[in-house]
Chains A and B, each alone.
Chain A
Amino acid sequence: MRILIVEDEPDILRGLAQVLREEGYAVDVAEDGETGLYKAKNTAYDAIVLDVMLPVLDGFTVLKKLRETKATPVLMLTARAESIDRVRGLNSGADDYLAKPFDLDELLARLRALIRRALGHSTSSMSIGDVTIDFAARRVRRADAEIDVTAREYALLEYLAQQRGRVVSRTQLYEHLFDECDDTLSNLLDVHVSNLRKKLGHEFITTRRGHGYSIE
């Protein structure tokens, strides 16, 4: 899952980016509204965390312009907790709203729910064969045994599972699993897929040569 954070307070931006990366998200950042809007329009993000008070373009304007072309889920962050601001944010197309100071765990939970809803799933877990993925706890079980996966592996598994039944291209995977800072070596993806197959069974992820991967 790839996420864009638009926030002009450097310390908050750094902290958020770090915690999201630790959760296995691919994270891009922008420090002003204009850059944020450009990135949001040109990349297929799974969600955007958008601050309201931003230089150049404020959050509401960014959201309005983004909605002209894209329906990417947006979580608005603001230091103003007045309900008028909440209403304004939700009316201008925000999918959720969080007031500063926020709790990191709450932000993560809301972000997960946001992405899940955007993909059309309402439950927080999914069973595929004898494999169960708990999206809330970010855990994978196979026949009642906990499977240890790395953050990247989990992100790959989660993305494929969310797109279950569809073939996901390598480009798509690169776009959603790696951020602009990652050095995208072409065989890195293959390494993660191979590791997941070792842990969950070789047939779990099928390869469509020339097209990509899928979970049936």
Chain B
Amino acid sequence: MKATHSLRWRMQIWHGLLLVAVLAGLGVAAYQHQWSNDLRRLDGDLNERLALLFDALSRDGGRPPPPGQFPQPPPNRPRRPEFRLPSEQQALFDPQNPKSSYFVVWRRDGSEWARSAGAPAEIPLPARPPQGKLGGLDRNRGLLHEVFRFTPPGDCILVGRSMGPEMTALRDYAAWLTGIASAILLLGLGGGWWITTRALRPLDAITNTAGYIAEGRLAERIHLTDDRGELGQLATVLNSTFAQLEATFAQQAQFTADAAHELRTPVSVVISQAQLGLRAERSAEEYRGMLDACLRAGRRMEKLTQSLLELTRHDAGAADLKSQPTDLASLARESAELLQPTAAERQVRLDLDLAPAPCHADPDRIAQVILNLVNNALEYTPAGGTITIRARRENADAILAVSDTGPGIAPEDAARIFDRFYRVDQSRNRRTGGAGLGLAICQTIASAHGGTLTLESTVGSGSTFTLRLPEA
């Protein structure tokens, strides 16, 4: 299987991509947040100093700044009060401090009034903003961040500082974020792999078992340690499908074996009679006897194949039925008329209790069922007994029941009586000639019509077979 087609790989890739997107989003947000925090802190810092300077300027005059730190304005300038900064505040602008700020003060006319020692050489005078707004102004020049304000008289104070330390911290922060994100990503991918592997493990079991089934090992089943969850349900459904498949195959194999077995006896007759005939010269009468035996065997095989064909045909369903509006009562009457002579011969009374029972069915097939049921009843009912055929309508169903006063059928036989090739008395076949398919055929005909054929029997008092067909 190619990696791109593997469910596990696709899940892993999507999961990885999603994780990367989430982590990247979070990382960028955290970075931004940190950066804006840094900037705000820097702004606050600078603005604080700006306020101090502003205060110092507003107090007007004061001590001149020490030489070197606050250079004197050029002598050609008209004298203005000296800019003085209290010495404790001068430490704030100590150039030795890596986070040191610098300041520049311009007079109203744009000439520089004072500047701190650490101030860069070239600092352009900020443009005066539109009137009214004097403070809260800032600008970035390269790595330098500067805040400035204009005094009401028109002087300008600017405090600035390099953002270098913040940038460095931010880079470290970004590196730290990347490291954390990578660790989370790896953990996520590993966990994802583990989870998908665990989640897909039942699929492997299912695939293996399905493979065995395809190879014909029908007894194989999917064994999951946990049969809850979607795949567990799938496995349960598949297992029951496999079980049904196996049962069907077994049934088919049994049916074939039974059919073959049924054929063996007549084939034995044909072979042994033919071999007997070929062993020596025989009289015409002897040959006739052998041919008779072969013919009987042939007829038996013919009957058997006919039954097998019929079963197969009805197994296919209703497709073959020539259904039309039919009355079970009239079919029962016809069947009773046909069998009346046999019944009389066996001294069995044939009672009819027929009310109209309309249904939609193939009359030939249903007549076959009725004849078969009555014939069976005749077979098992002793002389002096009674067979009753009833027809009636019940709810929307058409009902036909054949009851006899025979010996009844034991529950263990009753449970299997509709099975193919099942005979209540295993040895009766030779005399009655049946292969144990009659009732099986009746039942397939009934189900092909969407109806049922059931048996109620009490040992000692008789049996009742009930055919129930839906109205339409």
Contact = CB atoms under 8 A, between A and B. Distances in A.
A32 B426 CA distance: 12
Interface string B264-300: 1101111111011001100000000110010011000
Interface residues of B, number: 25
B271 A22 contact: no
A9 B428 CA distance: 11
A58 interface: yes
Contacts of A79: 261, 264-265, 268
Could you tell me the dominant secondary structure of chain A's interface residues? loop
Given A11-B273, A15-B273, A19-B279, A100 B430 contact: no
A102 B289 CA distance: 20
Nearest to A32: B427
Contact of B430 (A8, A58, A80, A105): A8
Interface residues of A, number: 28
A133 to B, nearest CB: 21
Contacts of B268: 9, 12, 79, 100-102
Q: Which of A11, A16, A81, A99 has the most CB of B within 10 A?
A: A11
A50 to B, nearest CB: 14
A99 B261 CA distance: 10
Name the prevailing secondary structure of the B interface residues. Answer: helix
A146 B351 CA distance: 74
A55 B272 CA distance: 22
A104 B272 contact: yes
Contacts of A105: 275
Nearest to B426: A53
A104 B276 contact: yes
Given A18-B276, A103-B275, A104-B276, A12 B427 contact: no
Nearest to A80: B261
A22 B272 contact: no
Interface in A73-93: 79-82
Contacts of A16: 272
A136 interface: no
Contact of A11 (B257, B280, B293, B426): B293
Contacts, number: 72
Nearest to A77: B268
Interface in B401-456: 425-428, 430
B273 to A, nearest CB: 5
A82 B254 CA distance: 12
Interface string A44-77: 0000000001111010000000000000000000
Interface string A26-41: 0000001000000000
A14 interface: yes
A40 B416 CA distance: 35
Contacts of A58: 426-427
A31 to B, nearest CB: 9
A35 B321 CA distance: 48
B264 A101 contact: yes
A20 B268 CA distance: 16
Given A55-B427, A58-B426, A80-B261, A11 B275 contact: no
B48 to A, nearest CB: 103
A12 B272 contact: yes
Nearest to A14: B293
Interface in B294-313: 296-297
Contacts of B426: 53, 58
Given A15-B293, A54-B427, A80-B261, A9 B269 contact: yes
Among A15, A80, A102, A103, chain B packs the most CB atoms within 10 A around the CB of: A15
Given A55-B427, A79-B268, A101-B264, A22 B296 contact: no
B430 A15 contact: no
Nearest to A102: B268
Given A9-B265, A79-B265, A53 B276 contact: no
A12 B261 contact: no
A106 to B, nearest CB: 10
A109 B93 CA distance: 129
Interface of A: 8-12, 14-16, 18-19, 22, 32, 53-56, 58, 79-82, 99-105
30 contacts: A8-B430, A10-B430, A11-B273, A11-B293, A12-B268, A12-B269, A12-B272, A14-B289, A14-B293, A15-B269, A15-B273, A15-B276, A15-B290, A16-B272, A22-B279, A22-B280, A32-B427, A53-B426, A55-B427, A58-B426, A79-B261, A79-B265, A99-B264, A100-B264, A100-B268, A101-B264, A101-B268, A101-B270, A102-B268, A104-B276
> Closest 3 CB pairs between A and B?
A55-B427, A101-B268, A11-B293
Given A79-B264, A105-B275, 10 more contacts: A12-B268, A15-B290, A22-B280, A55-B428, A58-B426, A79-B265, A82-B257, A101-B268, A102-B271, A103-B271
